[in-house]
Amino acid sequence: MDLQLTGRVAVVTGASKGIGLAVTRTLLDEGARVAAVSRKSGADLDALAGPDLLHVAADLMDPAAPAHAVARAVEAFGRLDVLVNNAGGPPPGTALPRFGFLTPTDDDWRAMYEFNLFAVVRAVRAALPHLLDSDAAAIVNVSSGNARRPGPMNVDYNSAKAALNNLTKGLSEEFAPRGVRVNTVSPGPVRTPWWTEEGGAADILAGATGSDRVAVLERVAPEMMGLTTGRLAEPQEVADVVALLASPRSANTTGAEFAVDSGYLKEL
């Protein structure tokens, strides 16, 4: 299926690995031009180098970074049609999961909201003047199934993602009538570096459950989280949905949330 993204310009945050890398690769494959935003590049992102890819080195914990990234994209490609707010999860220097409400401090809460909510607010604010000039504009916010399954693990992260879901709906109500569709993709656990890197979620859960990294990824986490498919999702499976929502083929889809979560969410 032609997603009609040829020549479109997208900004993708958190683009150097995991879901963001898969989104960047997919949009490029569909003919889009992509400004890939991350603190630093990496071998996998470098492998995509070409005239349709711009890497923007930016730390989204810096309040000026989202506007800088948008400006660089417009400077390089002359327009903006798609904003994918993918960066999120543990702020730089933070490891998740964290257990219990009393564990995160005020500083932890501030950092979590800075990375998972305020950076999105700033990116949308910077992008909207350009998106409003597009004939097929789209914003896709990458949230989490935990936004709708609150609990005592990662309570600050879950709360920030719930706020992001609310923001998405509000943005859609205001700007979809003006031609900017806004949707959410909510992954469950995805086999990304957040899980697989040394000291990441798999290692933390292994320590908490008396297991090991491989067992956590293959069995313990899917069982603990009640994953209907029995496995963590792959980044490409999330990226495919993001690309469809970014596409003009989804011209009448807005204010919606799409779960790519291995059956994690059970609620109607």
Could you write out the DSSP letters of every residue in 168-208? HHHHHHHHGGGTEEEEEEEE-SBSSHHHHSTTSHHHHHHHH
Q: Please indicate whether residue 264 is annotated as part of the active site.
A: no
β-strands 33-38, 9-13 pairing: parallel
Please give the torsion angle defined by the CA atoms of residues 56, 157, 258 and 262, in that order, rounded to the nearest 10 degrees: 110
| Residues 6+ away with beta carbon under 8 Å from 46 | none
Q: Given the residues 77, 113, 157, 258, select the one marked as catalytic.
A: 157
CB 189 within 8 A of CB 232: yes
Distance CA 24, CA 176 (A): 24
Please give the positions annotated as active site.
157
